[in-house]
Homo-oligomer: A and B are copies of this chain.
Amino acid sequence: MICVMPTTLPPVRLEPLRTACSDCNLRELCLPVGLNPVDMEKLDGLMSQRKVVPRGESLFRATEPFHALYAVRTGFFKTCLTSEDGRVQVTGFQMAGELLGLDGIASGHHSVDAEALEDSSVCVLPYHDLEHLARDFGALQTQLHRIMSREIVRDHGVMMLLGSMRAEERVAAFLLNLTQRLRARGYSATELVLRMTREEIGSYLGLKLETVSRTFSKFQDEGILEVKQRQITVLDLDALQRLVSSAAC
């Protein structure tokens, strides 16, 4: 179970202390995957600071100039794209070990808002330095490319979800994805606390919040889930799996 939701914290605060990748318990999930200890020390030198982002605050906003990538250290984020006419689309949810800000490289300014859904902290990776460092040692370059490519592959998966799945399938896929990512981080794959509202889930899945709510209720009636507000217990993982990979009728 992921928890921790303290209520008062100063707004975006810089931590002077250096947090080394080589010591980080996320090093098998995060940017340093596959780096040897020597290389990792070089990466440590790059990471100038940590940043704390309280729940509800933004790490960065669309149109702001892009300077750095951010690795989620603790907490949970969402990224939102806002269209000219004001429509908002949640493009992703990020948890520990995942990178934020890749969209900013293209144009030099961010294209989405990144907001903390619970009190969070990130490692700041100044992009200029990172790019320079990647030039000097290839393992980091390779890893950076992999991460960007993985994001592209993930996005294609979301297109599939939005383009050709029905509501129940989308919700099932969403829950399965969450459980998998939580399990990779050592959390229970069956007990989860949603950090986002029904509306945010709906935005991500291309559904209205009422439809998300109804689908949760339906899954509960069918014995697949137990839903208590944001506290979800997965009772039948196989049923979820069957839902997402059920041939299109």
Chain A interface residues (CB < 8 Å from chain B): 81, 83-89, 91, 102-107, 111-112, 131-132, 134-135, 138, 141-142, 144-153, 155-160, 162-165, 203-206, 245-248
Contacts and interface: CB of A to CB of B under 8 A. Distances in A.
B247 A160 contact: no
B89 A160 contact: yes
12 contacts: A83-B245, A85-B247, A86-B248, A102-B148, A102-B149, A103-B149, A105-B146, A131-B138, A135-B138, A145-B148, A155-B155, A164-B206
Given A145-B148, A152-B152, A245 B159 contact: no
A interface, over-half SS = helix
A159 B159 contact: yes
Contacts of A153: 103, 106-107, 111
A163 B111 contact: no
A114 to B, nearest CB: 12
A83 B112 CA distance: 28
A86 B249 CA distance: 11
A119 B74 CA distance: 50
Contacts of A248: 85-87
Contacts of A142: 131
